[in-house]
Chains A and B, each alone.
Chain A
Amino acid sequence: MNDDARTDGGTASATDSGASAGALAEVDGYRVLLYLGLLGILAFFMIPIESGLVTSFKTSTGVTGSLPFAPPTGSTFTLEKWRTAFDALGRGLINSALYAIPATVISALLGSFAAYGLTQSDWKQRYKAPVLALFVAGIFIPYQAVLVPLSQFWSMIPLQDALGFLWALGINNDYTGIFELIVTHVAYGLPICTVLFRSYYKNMSEEMIEAARLDGASIRRIYRRIVLPLSGPMFAVVLIYQFTQIWNDLLFTLVLVQTESSAAAPIVLILAGLGTSLEGQDFALRMAGAFIAALPTLAVYIAFGEEFAEGVAT
């Protein structure tokens, strides 16, 4: 925030030095061009989304008979595609939430633990650096490099038997996939969570922590009483970033749940096959489905855009 204040002042003096008092009166051709450019770029970023949105409300004849970015007219307007998409994707919304929310919370919490243990505690940098390097490198691992062992690993764990009490309650045993997704996403989300928290903890005021240490507080106590309560803003960033990542990921759902017909199929998995058939593609249905799948992350983004930007910039 104070970044903004500082640069605004600086750029102002750099760009229109002197022309600040009567800025409105003096319509500057250069500024007009700048805003036109910015609006043009805005249109570029919005067009795929806008044309998707209007298309999702069109009948099949409307889709082929009108411009893709023109809104539907009276006779080509329909809510049918949204209804069909919602029927197909509704259970996927719940399934996705079932693993995305726990996995997000657990990975953020464990990431905070790891970052704290690697930042605010005194042990030799020489040994800390490699541990940290393994965390950082973990962010960049292409998931393909671990997929086959991951499938092998989960096929060796007798999760079906261990969760028998759930199936006894009448829950479909496809839901083992949800448990596998939680653990998997926690493990692969931990590196980025740790790195985000670490950059935050590194800049945390050391005086309070040193004072607490002088008073003889244990590492655990310092975390609970000082570090955790001060981590609020970073938790917001990490939770938002992680939730978006986990909700949006397709690859693990494809490998661990496998088929979109599974009772536990997450929304991205159902969406990936929606509206494509041998007879052709139903684009209106695909667009409506895309919006339903994007709604949770879009809502999070619109509400917490700042935190999201901070998460990706780190």
Chain B
Amino acid sequence: MTRNTDTGDDSGDAVTDGGVAEERGGSGFSPIDALNERFGSDFVESSQFWLPPFLLVGLFVYGAIIWNLLISLTDFSGFGTPDYGDLDLEMYSRALADSGFVDAAINTFVLLVGFTLVTLAIGLGLAILIDRNIRFENTFRTIYLLPMSLSFVVTAQFWAWMFNFNNGVINIVITSLGFGRVNWIGNPDIVLWAVMFALMWQFAGYAMVVFLAGLRAIPNEHYEAAKVDGASTARMYWRVIIPQLKGSTISASVVLMVFALKAFDFLYSLVGGYRPPNGSDILATKMVREAYANLNWAYASAIAITLFVMTLGIVGPYLYYQYNRGNL
């Protein structure tokens, strides 16, 4: 687009929305020109579209995070209002000394890594199977993805029943195979893996959809070339196809990790309360419990900041990667 076009556009604008132009005329033309000069020709005019949403997100997301940081530095608890006059890092040192916090942090990390890796692997396997030129592809795909359309609250009900000690499907299957019953939810050493399994069930279809899009973006010549070279199917995928799925893997992992961090809804609904089964407390559940059950607002905010920093550690590099690829 040339400079001439822009000038023409500006004058056209003055004609179409006269009202706005009037207002601008009143406040003087120069500040707007100066803004456009600095930020680009449509900056001011396009701001009627992007600025209100941007302010809303700025206030509710970024304003709230800064506010949260402030609260985490106070001693705010119980009823009343926070006292911003006395800021210190007390809540953070309290967190480090709290074994419940350390356990929750470890559980968060285990869930994050375990869930993401397992779900990625299964999703990739599903995508490859679905991509084998099968019939009823749409039906299979739709059913594999279906759990993701359900609420965590709903899937938690299903899995509470699946994992039930006496009558659950899982224990019935394993006893019929000759093994003893397992207390999936009640045993603190197992419960986190059981939760991971249920979440994998819910999100494997998502990973599949992302990988399928990635597989379909790979030119057919790559498959054919590998065939001509005499590579077996397994070898072809391992050497030629999977390395090209880097982009899909990165975006799927980021989204899955964020889901794992948000697994609060699932754990809350599993028991219908703020305290998840022993051994499955994660930072997300501990934060909400400290705030809304124990009214330890400042302490909860400090946990929230920890969670936020963990997320930033994942999302920051992702944004940088997207920026470098010109996607921003």
A residues sitting closer than 8 Å to B (CB atoms) are: 3-4, 6-17, 34-35, 37-38, 41-42, 44-49, 51-52, 55, 63-64, 67-69, 110-111, 113-114, 116-118, 121-124, 127-129, 131-153, 184, 186-188, 190-191, 194, 210, 213-221, 223, 244, 247-251, 254-255, 258, 268, 271-274, 276, 281, 283, 286-287, 289-291, 293-294, 297-298, 300-301, 305, 308-309, 312-313
Contacts and interface: CB of A to CB of B under 8 A. Distances in A.
Nearest to B139: A42
Interface in B196-217: 201, 205-206, 209-210, 213, 215-216
A5 B271 CA distance: 47
Interface string B273-317: 100000000011001100110000100110111011001001100
Given A68-B161, A124-B40, A117 B268 contact: no
How many chain B residues sit at the interface, stated as a range, is 35 or more
Contacts of A293: 151, 153-154
B315 A250 contact: no
Contacts of A11: 131-133, 223
Nearest to A269: B153
B153 A250 contact: yes
B145 interface: yes
Interface stretch (B26-34, B50-58, B94-102, B113-121): B50-58
9 contacts: A123-B39, A124-B39, A141-B311, A144-B283, A144-B307, A153-B64, A219-B13, A250-B264, A272-B269
B65 A141 contact: yes
A294 B151 contact: yes
B129 A38 contact: yes
Contact of B53 (A41, A110, A144): A110
Interface of chain B, main secondary structure: helix
A131 B50 contact: yes
Interface of B: 1, 5-6, 8-9, 11-13, 15-17, 36, 39-43, 45-54, 56-65, 67-68, 71, 82, 126, 129-134, 137-138, 140-162, 164, 166-169, 172, 201, 205-206, 209-210, 213, 215-216, 220, 223-224, 227, 233, 254, 258, 261-262, 264-265, 268-269, 271-273, 283-284, 287-288, 291-292, 297, 300-301, 303-305, 307-308, 311, 314-315, 319, 322-323, 328
